[in-house]
Homo-oligomer: A and B are copies of this chain.
């Protein structure tokens, strides 16, 4: 029976450390402010932003939400971001997704000063990671790494398999694992024999967004299983439930360590956003 990797408890420790450092900086006269942008808000997005704000304030980071009309133009968005870049009182910038379809998300993300890019989405930050001069890593990727490292499992020479090759999770996690001297296999939807690869894995990271995609037949006895998926499914009785990419109950019997969903990567990702905001504030 796998040990649970408690994302909530680990996140609490990270937040506590961030809070201490934020207090130290505040005592030295340095205030940290995260500016978040929300375009064309829905109830769900507003609730999410509200939670962001609460998480920030809980550790002493000032949170400023900019709610903008859905009709805002690319040029207006660009001006807003350039203004944040130039403003010394802005420690970090966060662009909440999704954006309305007429806006070019990538172009806007690339405009954010890499030193204020709390989400680690600017190419320079991804590039620093490849080059081994990491500044800011995408929150979810670094959250997955922290959870893996919390198990104390040896990474050097370990077989790691990452399922899903997104820019924001799969690729950066793969690069980080390789930097820790693991042998890393990057699987994706085109992979022909997924189970063969997964079964070799001492460390298995599932980051696809498909419920039940990883079953016990994909898992080596004793492996560390990190479930990055967050999927809302409808149960037979019509109620809704949040599940990951892993068949939790069945895999738990086989794995050595496993992250639950919810309560695994999710809370750690929020903690990493706060940690990244602190790092940004210390970079400039």
Contacts and interface: CB of A to CB of B under 8 A. Distances in A.
A279 interface: no
Contact of A157 (B106, B128, B183, B190): B190
A97 interface: no
Looking at chain A's contact residues, is the secondary structure mostly helix, strand, loop, or mixed?
mixed
A174 interface: yes
Contact of A183 (B132, B182, B192): B192
A218 interface: no
Interface stretch (A47-55, A65-73, A78-86, A119-127): A119-127
Interface in A113-137: 122-128, 130-133
Indicate how many identical chains form the complex: 2
B133 A130 contact: no
A108 interface: no
A231 interface: no
A149 interface: no
Interface string A169-181: 0011011001001
A167 interface: yes
Contacts of A175: 171
B186 A174 contact: yes
B132 A167 contact: yes
Given A124-B123, A130-B126, A165-B178, A183 B197 contact: yes
Interface string A102-118: 00001000000000000
Interface in A231-262: none
A192 B155 CA distance: 12
Interface in A122-163: 122-128, 130-133, 156-157, 159
Given A123-B130, A124-B123, A126-B126, A183 B191 contact: yes
A127 B186 CA distance: 17
9 contacts: A123-B127, A127-B127, A127-B128, A130-B171, A130-B172, A165-B178, A174-B186, A182-B190, A183-B186
Q: Give 8 nearest A-B pairs by CB, closest first.
A: A123-B127, A127-B127, A126-B127, A181-B190, A185-B185, A157-B190, A183-B191, A126-B130
Interface of A: 106, 122-128, 130-133, 156-157, 159, 165, 167, 171-172, 174-175, 178, 181-188, 190-192, 197
Given A127-B130, A159-B192, A181-B188, 14 more contacts: A106-B131, A106-B133, A123-B123, A123-B126, A124-B127, A126-B126, A130-B171, A131-B167, A156-B190, A157-B191, A157-B192, A174-B174, A183-B185, A183-B188
